[in-house]
Amino acid sequence: MSQPTPPSQETGEGLRWNAWNLLLLVPFLMLVTPWFNSIEPQLFGMPFFYWSQFLWVPVGVVCVAVVYVKTRDERNPVAPGAPHDVDDLDEGTAR
């Protein structure tokens, strides 16, 4: 079987990199519980840990929405070469 050629940067083939995708890492900050594990300040009698977790929900939604809006008009990468037939892709026939 022949080795696939590496994707070319000029043609836009392969994985897409976009700096906006780094914004998707922001909601993962809520998982660092030692930063938020405290009672004070309380909001409506609710400890800081709980209301800060509720606050991260809209933050995550906004991050995903911004990344979607900024990257939705990008062109999808196309695999190089002619499309294969289903029979050519069947793994059972290669044995």
pLDDT in tens, 41-74: 988 888 988 888 889 999 999 999 999 998 887 6
Cα angle for residues 79, 71, 17 (degrees, 5° grid): 55
Among the listed residues 2, 50, 49, 58, the one whose alpha carbon sits nearest the alpha carbon of residue 27: 58
Q: In percent, how much of the chain has pLDDT > 70?
A: 69
0.75 exceeded by pTM: no
